[in-house]
């Protein structure tokens, strides 16, 4: 059975509101710590241009919404209409999970690797608990695959 050791994270609608308002989703810091503890590699896979994405990451870290190591998370180059996990360096799609709020960006034959999350959208509720819910989903999936905590 493949070991899912790589996590690709969407940015807009998943971790933050969007690239304009940049509101961090409640629980972001703790969720990112969980990701770092449970995956060998974490990537950002977003339609946001790298320079804008890097500025957003810096802001999240400066505001303590993300841990400092988040500054070093690489971006997956994306120039297509879908987030193909084959574009993640030195990984097979079966080694990866993709956390994204938008099914339209998931490659059809990689649906098994997709972890859906409800879109973080206006009104941006401070009681949103999607990252906590998804953390449990990911934890259960890793435990079933033999990785566990």
> Where do the domains of the chain lie, and which CATH numbers do they carry?
6-143 (3.40.50.1000)
Cβ contact 9:43 at 8 Å:
yes
Model confidence at 140: pLDDT above 70: yes
Instruction: Give the Cα-Cα-Cα angle 65, 58, 35 (nearest 5 degrees).
Output: 50
In which band, very low, low, confident or very high, does the pLDDT at 78 lie, cut at 50, 70 and 90?
confident
What's the mean per-residue pLDDT of the chain?
A: 93
In which band, very low, low, confident or very high, does the pLDDT at 145 lie, cut at 50, 70 and 90?
confident
b/e map 19-57, b = 16+ CB within 10 Å: beebebbbbbbebbebbbebbebbbbbbebeeeebeebb
Residue range 65-73: average pLDDT?
Answer: 98
In which band, very low, low, confident or very high, does the pLDDT at 50 lie, cut at 50, 70 and 90?
confident
Give the pair of three-digit tokens for residue 122.
């206006």
Return the number of other C-beta atoms located less than 10 Å from residue 59's C-beta.
Answer: 14
**This prediction's pTM:** 0.93
Cis status of the peptide bond prior to 97, with omega within 30 of 0: no
**pLDDT (0 to 100) of residue 23:** 97
């Amino acid at each position: 059975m493949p070991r899912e050791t790589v996590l690709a994270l969407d940015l807009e609608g998943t971790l933050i509101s969007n690239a304009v308002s940049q509101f961090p989703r409640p629980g972001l810091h703790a969720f990112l710590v969980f990701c770092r503890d449970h995956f060998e590699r974490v990537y950002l896979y977003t339609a946001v241009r790298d320079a804008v994405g890097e500025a957003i990451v810096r802001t999240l870290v400066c505001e303590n919404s993300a841990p400092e190591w988040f500054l070093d998370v690489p971006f997956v180059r994306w120039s297509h209409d879908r987030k193909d996990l084959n574009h993640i360096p030195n990984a097979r799609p079966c080694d990866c999970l993709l956390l994204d709020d938008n099914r339209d960006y998931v490659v059809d034959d990689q649906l098994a690797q997709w972890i859906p999350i409800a879109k973080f959208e206006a009104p941006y509720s401070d009681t949103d608990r999607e990252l906590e819910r998804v953390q449990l989903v990911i934890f259960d999936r890793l435990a079933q695959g033999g990785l566990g905590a």
